[in-house]
Structure 1
Amino acid sequence: MAYPIHVKSEIGKLKTVLLKRPGREVENLTPDTMERLLFDDIPFFENIQKEHDYFADTLRKEGVEVLYLEKLAAESLVNEEVKQSFLKQMIDESGLISDYQKQAVIEYLGSMNNDQMIEKIMAGIRKHEVEIPHQTCLDTLDDYPFLTDPMPNLYFTRDPIASIGNGLTVNRMTFAARQRESLFIETIMNYHPRFADSGIQVWLDRYTGAHIEGGDELVLSDTVLAVGISQRTSAHSIKLLAEKLFKNNSGYEKVLAIKIPNNRAMMHLDTVFTMVDYDKFTIHPAILDSDGKMDVYVIEKANNELGMTITLRNNIEDVLKEVLNLSELVLIPTGRGDAIVAPREQWNDGSNTLAIAPGTVVTYDRNYVSNEVLREYGLRVLEVLSGELSRGRGGPRCMSQPLVREDLK
């Protein structure tokens, strides 16, 4: 494979993955900042790192190359000009109001080596760490402790980017707490020696005027995508993505826009629906109506004024069989579909499986009912520790961004 990004399915053998080890940004959460930073609880820092290391080691034991976001970001600052440009943009997007605050923070960060600087940006800068010139007593009345917010969601590398074919989307994320995350991705793709000037196509960039997040983007095959219309991905962004893919000979000819409930428990499509084998998917029953239906908009490449046709369907099983050329298909219900177990395990990402090969998935150990059901359907299930990782409301798929997968045969 000539490209550093090559993902043409959800289930092809995983070769290279992007992770982010939880750092001090997680330890900088407080009860008063959890809502602002999109967390429901505060993980125990030492244990969340141990659990993440266990997850990474599980992937390595399966032959997967593990790359770390923080290391790639530091390595991308290849000269002083790139470093200063990155710093300026990052600080411009960090919510600082005055020019003298911005300049003081840039000087503070610029005095560090690249690794230290990236770590500090991710962790957040507390007010007492930087001497701000021209500061008055009025500037200190606000008791919020940070000059720049921590980024505790960074360990969910799935969302700021989505690998599609030999390209990617660098995502405009919905909430302010996460919008800076994709700047790390943009910098890596533009300047890191492994990715820069390598022919990677950017299907959507982070300046696109519509929100989209990688947890909603599923690569079902080399011609079909599924994208969730969700709390964090707009219908308009899906239309823009389809237009870009269809116009640029990407190989993608169909995009399924799947409407899911707009709430915290089901924030992305991959929290309620994932592909685990050629003909098997996990699904949270709550996304279906009482008749087992849901809205699926089939967007197809066409030779008309729009360049596409859009057809509303309501049977997800029929649509999947049709677009994937399957005679049979299995939808595996989270928590066996039980009225108590399914929502409980869904809250802890029972449907958020990471396929690392056809029929082999990584899951959280705490979702023992869902894991048992997967095994009953013949899947190989690799359980990882999840007591602290799950507090961020994301599972193994959320915590990983495949960069290279083998093509399906």
Structure 2
Amino acid sequence: MFLNVNSEIGKLKRVLLHRPGRELERITPQYLEELLFDDIPWLKRMRAEHDAFALTMANRGCEIYYYENLLQEVLEKGDLKEKFIDDVLKGTKLVNPCLEQAIREYLISLPPQKVVKVAIEGLHKEDVPDLKWEYRLVDYVKSEYPFYINPMPNLYFTRDPGAVIGNGLVINKMKTPARNRETMFLYYIYKYHPLFNQSNIPLYYNYTDPYSIEGGDILVLNERTVAIGCSERTSAWGIETLSERLFQQSKIEKVLAIQIPFTRAYMHLDTVFTMLNYDQFTIYPGVKNNIKVYLLTKGVNSPKITPINSLEEGLKKVLKLPSVELIESGGGTEITAAREQWNDSTNTLAIGPGVVITYDRNEYTNETLRKRGIEVIEIEGSELVRGRGGPRCMSMPLFRENL
């Protein structure tokens, strides 16, 4: 069994990452918004911090897999390279078929490793200065845009393209076009890599589905229960669709839909709320009173929806606990909590019950967690945090030990 995630806190044994690469050096101030960034990162330092993050997990017995390696292995076997190139080109802004054909021929001439690099790092016009094609008016009109193929700077947030639920997989439909190629990458790995395609892994959602849902909004609370954030990035229809499939095809019996404010500052549920232990959670106090909760269970033609009075009540109900502890980030202090939430203080990654990885810069939140009995493993994230994501965002768990 290659995939197994029945909780947020089971000991982490396998994880999917992407080591930041040259795609981060292709972000310029004028394209920050389009590429979903707020700042320009320093790649050298970012890679050192990411390597330390991976080593922290490896030292705790976790096996590390990388997107780029799995994709290369996929393209090295069979006749998939041309199909992959065609799918990459489908998502580009190329509108001149002559130019698209010239780029296609160029990419086909490359070995698999370089095709993967281009698919992730993008194809800048300066990368292929000798490319020849028949110019059309559209080429002159759009000539200022520097890329033939956009870079994928958000790929190091591997949480969002997919999620493992039980022994099955969710390949998400991303809200923004800037991230669509990431889910296509995951589909190729699922469909064609032997680690996945020889394991009869059920697929509960696919990136070709119409309704947006992203992995930062999906929390596996236990073997029978999933929490899904209804957020800026995850739609109500996406939650209903996935819930219905989980009820029909998996062991999941309950979905706790948690509506948070629809703003970029709280783009996913895990930017304001994560699970730490059997009955302990961390939450950003700025959203505590702005959350709506709904319990979804199996219905006749669609999920049955029951409004719940509070997040605490919903968690106690689905986890069958007499009480739960919601630990406020920033020590509960408004200004400190707001500052540290900007640096992803609540975006903790549990690698075991009561054991979490956090950024070291969130000093007040980390101290608060320690006072509540949580083992906090700190990593440096001065550059990693510039993409607005923490340790949970940067990791896609593939296998956790059952509790």
Give the superposition deviation at 1:138.
Answer: 6.1
Note if contact 1:157-1:401 (Cα within 8 Å) is conserved in structure 2: yes
Give the SS at the match of 1:220.
strand
Query: Structure 1 residues 136 and 96, CA, compared in 2 at 3 Å: closer, same or farther?
Result: closer
1-structure distance, mates of 2:61, 2:243: 33
1-structure distance, mates of 2:132, 2:321: 63
2-structure distance, mates of 1:138, 1:104: 16
- Higher helix proportion: 2
Note if contact 1:5-1:404 (Cα within 8 Å) is conserved in structure 2: yes
Give the gaps of 5 or more residues in structure 2. none
- Which residue is equivalent to 1:133? 133
1:73-112 alignment runs, 5 A limit: 73-79=71-77, 81-112=79-110
- Which residue is equivalent to 2:373? 378
Percent of counterpart pairs with the same letter?
A: 49
2:174 paired with 1:177: no
Give the superposition deviation at 1:132.
Answer: 3.5
Where has structure 1 moved over 3 Å in runs of 4 or more?
A: none
Which of these residues, 386, 389, 397, is aligned with residue 392 of structure 2? 397
> Deviations for 1:195-240, whole angstroms, at most 9, x for unmatched residues?
1131111101111110000000000000000000000000000000
Query: Structure 1 residues 133 and 337, CA, compared in 2 at 3 Å: closer, same or farther?
Result: same
Note if contact 2:96-2:138 (Cα within 8 Å) is conserved in structure 1: no
Give the superposition deviation at 1:71.
Answer: 0.5
> Deviations for 1:141-165, whole angstroms, at most 9, x for unmatched residues?
5211111111000000000001111
Note if contact 2:172-2:212 (Cα within 8 Å) is conserved in structure 1: yes
Note if contact 1:94-1:180 (Cα within 8 Å) is conserved in structure 2: no
Q: CA RMSD in A?
A: 1.2
1:314-325 alignment runs, 5 A limit: 314-325=309-320
Give the superposition deviation at 1:325.
Answer: 1.2
1-structure distance, mates of 2:113, 2:220: 33
Note if contact 1:188-1:195 (Cα within 8 Å) is conserved in structure 2: yes
Note if contact 1:212-1:232 (Cα within 8 Å) is conserved in structure 2: yes
- Which residue is equivalent to 2:267? 267
Query: Structure 1 residues 88 and 76, CA, compared in 2 at 3 Å: closer, same or farther?
Result: same
Give the superposition deviation at 1:80.
Answer: 5.1
Give the SS at the match of 2:31.
coil
Give the superposition deviation at 1:83.
Answer: 1.1
Note if contact 2:229-2:259 (Cα within 8 Å) is conserved in structure 1: yes
Give the gaps of 5 or more residues in structure 1. none
- Which residue is equivalent to 1:229? 230
2-structure distance, mates of 1:397, 1:268: 11
- Which residue is equivalent to 1:8? 6
1:222-301 alignment runs, 5 A limit: 222-248=223-249, 250-289=250-289, 294-301=291-298
2-structure distance, mates of 1:51, 1:134: 45
Give the superposition deviation at 1:136.
Answer: 5.1
2-structure distance, mates of 1:185, 1:164: 15
Note if contact 1:294-1:314 (Cα within 8 Å) is conserved in structure 2: no
Note if contact 1:362-1:382 (Cα within 8 Å) is conserved in structure 2: yes
Q: What code does the residue aligned with 1:90 have?
A: V
2-structure distance, mates of 1:263, 1:138: 35
- Which residue is equivalent to 1:352? 347
Query: Structure 1 residues 321 and 127, CA, compared in 2 at 3 Å: closer, same or farther?
Result: same
1-structure distance, mates of 2:45, 2:318: 43
1:70-219 alignment runs, 5 A limit: 70-79=68-77, 81-130=79-128, 131-135=131-135, 139-141=139-141, 142-219=143-220
Give the superposition deviation at 1:271.
Answer: 0.4
2:385 paired with 1:387: no
Give the superposition deviation at 1:111.
Answer: 1.7
Q: What code does the residue aligned with 1:116 have?
A: K
Give the SS at the match of 2:158.
coil
Q: What code does the residue aligned with 2:265 have?
A: A
2-structure distance, mates of 1:94, 1:132: 18
Of 129-138 and 385-394, the range deviating more from structure 2: 129-138
Q: What code does the residue aligned with 1:294 have?
A: I
> Deviations for 1:22-78, whole angstroms, at most 9, x for unmatched residues?
000001100011111000001101000000001001111111000001100111114
Q: What code does the residue aligned with 1:66 have?
A: I
1-structure distance, mates of 2:311, 2:74: 42
2-structure distance, mates of 1:285, 1:316: 13
2-structure distance, mates of 1:255, 1:318: 14
